[in-house]
Structure 1
Amino acid sequence: MSITVYTKTHCPQCDATKRQLTKQGLDFDQVDLTANQELVDQFIAKGFKQTPIVVTDEDTWSGYRPDMIKKVAATAKVYA
């Protein structure tokens, strides 16, 4: 399963999301949005207005969402 976490600096919700993903044993890629205005504009156009933005094979969400992280972890265990 592919997981990408789009973050910005000094973002407590980003840090909490990364900690939870790690705690659940999930590997993820991290992309810093602070230096990529084009990506920021793309996400804003899609309606995302807060970080982190988490993109998986099946879902995309923004903000710290422990419920979604648990859902992804459960899905990843099924495919493991």
Structure 2
Amino acid sequence: MNKVIVYSKTACGKCVFTKKWLEANNIPYEEKRTDLDEDARDEVIEMGYQELPVVIAGNEHWSGYQPDKLAELVD
């Protein structure tokens, strides 16, 4: 399975939904908080995203809560 990184922040409903979906499907992930980590915020900006969460899974990445893309992570 590809390493999954979730960029999130406090009070982000879509971030919560994404992390809960991953946890419910036993998919480990690393969380990077853009509100607490300036480097994480800069990484999101460099990727061209303006909406959180940003999910990186292997070579693929997207923003927002996208259950269809998350489902592709399940083996």
Band the TM-score falls in, shorter-chain normalisation: 0.7 to 0.9
Tell which structure's C-alpha radius of gyration is larger.
1
2:11 matched to 1:10? yes
- Alpha-carbon distance between aligned partners in 1 of 2:42 and 2:28, rounded to the nearest angstrom: 26
CA RMSD of aligned residues (A): 1.3
Q: Which runs of 5+ in 2 are unaligned?
A: none
Q: Which runs of 5+ in 1 are unaligned?
A: none
Structure with bigger helix share is: 1
Q: Given residue 30 of structure 1, which amino acid in structure 2 is its aligned partner?
A: E
- TM-score (ref. length: structure 1): 0.82
Identity %: 27
Q: Given residue 17 of structure 1, which amino acid in structure 2 is its aligned partner?
A: T
Q: Given residue 64 of structure 1, which amino acid in structure 2 is its aligned partner?
A: Y
- TM-score (ref. length: structure 2): 0.86
